[in-house]
Amino acid sequence: MFTGIIQSVGRVVRVENKGVDARLTLATGGLAMDDVALGDSIACNGVCLTVIEAHSAEFSVDVSAETLRCTTGFAPDALINMEKAMRLEDRLGGHLVSGHVDGVGTVLRFEPVGDCMELVIRAPETLAQYIVTKGSVAINGVSLTVNDVNKTDFSINLIPHTLNHTNLHVLTTASQVNLEVDVMARYAERILNYNR
């Protein structure tokens, strides 16, 4: 589990194709690796990935074809939001994020509003029902609060701190982003529809 509070912005150093799968080598962007062991999880752009090799300035992960199919943002030189898995004693500053991306959204608008940036994203129709005004959503692994929802489109206001400490500042119209809806909404739907 993760909190959606990004700890560093790294970069894709190398992509090695392994048939339909891939091995990624990622520069840590200053993420402290002294407490990371092989097998630990690190969320990379919101995707929970397992460390298979680690050094002080970079680490490697294997990514399955299914993960590559359902996510975006792992091209060579791409900036990557990184967060180590939370510990029980950590503060939960964002919301509970599983690192299991639900789908890919498309940026419709990204423009200044005062000192902030308004980000408008179109979610896949299958996810739109889980996105609610003042609810939580993870975008590229960043825990954010939804400002407004209009069918499949939703808006977020990004404060300067978030822009300066994540890869969201590089978004443009038509950019693709990884989306993870609030897991509580999914559980609520399952409970309500179980016997229907």
For residues 26 and 44, the answer to whether their CB atoms sit within 8 Å is yes
For residues 147 and 133, the answer to whether their CB atoms sit within 8 Å is yes
Read off the pLDDT of residues 127-151 as tens digits, 9 standing for 90 and up: 999 999 999 999 999 999 999 999 9
State the CATH class of domain 8-84. mainly beta
Structural Rg of the chain based on CA atoms: 16
CA distance 145 to 95: 10
pTM value is 0.93
- Check for a shared fold between 8-84 and 103-193: yes
Q: Is the pLDDT of residue 90 over 90?
A: no
Q: Which residue has the tokens 């999880």?
A: 41
Taking Cα atoms as reference points, which of 129, 121, 124 lies closest to residue 171? 121
The CA-atom distances, in angstroms, between 27 and each of 7, 47, 145 are 13, 16, 29
Q: Is 153 helix (H, G, I), strand (E, B) or coil?
A: strand
Domain ranges of the chain: 8-84, 103-193
Q: Which overall architecture, per CATH, does domain 103-193 show?
A: Beta Barrel (2.40)
CA distance 137 to 142: 8
Q: Is the pLDDT of residue 120 over 80?
A: yes
Mean pLDDT across the stretch 14-41? Answer: 97
Could you tell me the pLDDT band of residue 3, with boundaries at 50, 70 and 90?
A: very high
